Amino acid sequence: MSRALVVGRPGMLTTVQDRGRWGYQGLGVPVAGPMDWYSHDLANRLVGNDPDAAALEVTLIGPELIADGSGVLCAVTGAAFDVSVEGRPVPLNCPFEVASGSQVRIGARRAGARATLAARGGFDLPKTFGSRAMHLVSRMGPFDGRALRPGDRLPLIGTGTVTVNPENGHLGTINCDCHRSGLPLDLPDGGARVRIVPAAHRERFTTDAWDTLTSARFTITPQSNRMGYRLSGPPLTHRRGADILSEAMPIGALQVPASGQPILLMADRQTTGGYATLANVITADLPTAGQLAPGDWIEFAACTHAEAIAALRARRRALSGDRS
């Protein structure tokens, strides 16, 4: 029997995301993908999916979804939301079943900004440039790239016959359970410190700019979204001007326009940019940055490239459940 989740209430901003639309930035096609890649991969792992399976990213206020067809195996990771099935609380970072006709509700948020809901099989929605990720600005992806609305039907791949053993959380014959599949992300409490490495244009800034960036506290302004966070704090001063010939912009880049107020580029960033970049947030800390919301603070700590690589390896070990 076919399975699906049907949107009752969509929440503030609920989108479909897989790992993103990689390989087409040279054509001007944005990547999109999860703001918190770690929690996205963990949610898929919990239900036995491939890491690139399409899941739901929930922002600030969660949705209500109804299982249609046969039951659906789900997991919610990332931000600390209250999650329930037919009013019965279910734990985060652990698989749970939603019987046909039952409602799963992602309710009050206690910490973090974004949760991932993965369902067994992944969502069977049309691909654009090889990806099901929604990019809201370009309207690319399923449902014409818009956020989910009431009545949207999200079909799932496969039969989803795997069930949860209620005694230990194991998923049938899949070697995956909520105690060994991966460590949940440490959530920020009102703000976070993330690590950075120098970017290509550091020489275009004064020495004071780097010292200010690594010692001051910045605030995420309301003019922030999945494309990037506009930050407010002490201005970062240029030595040679803010404008550059447009070039490729990676996720985590800190652009600094003439105002001196940095912009942290996130998942829906443009493929190129014309402002000088002072630093890049390391890949291992992007999930932490992705859990921040307007009004939260952010601080930056310098690290070496070797430390950045070691941090990413540690993050991937944590995803596999390695507690060493």
What's the pLDDT band for 207 if we cut at 50, 70, 90? very high
Q: Which of 100, 129, 155 is the last residue of a domain?
A: 155
3-state helix, strand, coil in the chain (%, to 5): 15, 35, 50
Q: Same structural domain for residues 149 and 8?
A: yes
Look at residue 26 and tell me if it is in a domain: yes
Give the range among 101-110, 158-167, 290-299 with minimum mean pLDDT.
158-167
| Separation CA 271–CA 303 (nearest Å) | 25
Look at residue 167 and tell me if it is in a domain: no
Q: Same structural domain for residues 135 and 233?
A: no
Look at residue 164 and tell me if it is in a domain: no
Q: Same structural domain for residues 7 and 149?
A: yes
Q: Residue-wise over 65-91: b if at least 16 C-beta within 10 A, else e? A: bbbbbebbbbbbbbbbbebbbeeeebe
Q: Is the pTM of this model over 0.85?
A: yes
Q: Same structural domain for residues 229 and 121?
A: no
Joined tokens for residue 54: 């399409």
Q: What is the DSSP string of 180-202?
A: TS-PPPPPPSSEEEEEEEE-TTG
Largest pairwise CA distance in the chain: 64
Total structural domains in the chain?
2
Look at residue 184 and tell me if it is in a domain: no
Q: Same structural domain for residues 246 and 139?
A: no
Q: Same structural domain for residues 198 and 246?
A: yes
What's the pLDDT band for 322 if we cut at 50, 70, 90? low
Q: Same structural domain for residues 230 and 129?
A: no
Q: Residue-wise over 306-318: b if at least 16 C-beta within 10 A, else e? A: eebeebeeebeeb
Per-residue pLDDT tens over the stretch 122-178: 999 999 999 999 999 999 999 999 999 999 999 999 865 555 555 544 444 344 455
Q: Same structural domain for residues 125 and 10?
A: yes
Q: Which of 129, 155, 181 is the last residue of a domain?
A: 155
Domain of residue 50, residue span:
3-155
Q: Same structural domain for residues 251 and 297?
A: yes
Look at residue 107 and tell me if it is in a domain: yes
Joined tokens for residue 279: 């630093």
Q: Same structural domain for residues 146 and 206?
A: no
Percentage of residues of the chain with pLDDT beyond 90: 86
Look at residue 58 and tell me if it is in a domain: yes
Look at residue 165 and tell me if it is in a domain: no
Q: Which of 155, 183, 203 is the last residue of a domain?
A: 155
Read off the CATH number of the domain in which 303 is found.
2.40.100.10
What's the pLDDT band for 219 if we cut at 50, 70, 90? very high
Residue 162 confidence (pLDDT) = 54
More confident call, 185 vs 111:
111
Look at residue 172 and tell me if it is in a domain: no
With a cut of 70, say whether residue 201 has pLDDT above it.
yes
Helix (H, G, I), strand (E, B) or coil at 15: strand
What's the pLDDT band for 69 if we cut at 50, 70, 90? confident
With a cut of 70, say whether residue 57 has pLDDT above it.
yes
With a cut of 60, say whether residue 107 has pLDDT above it.
yes
Q: Same structural domain for residues 42 and 113?
A: yes
Q: Same structural domain for residues 140 and 203?
A: no
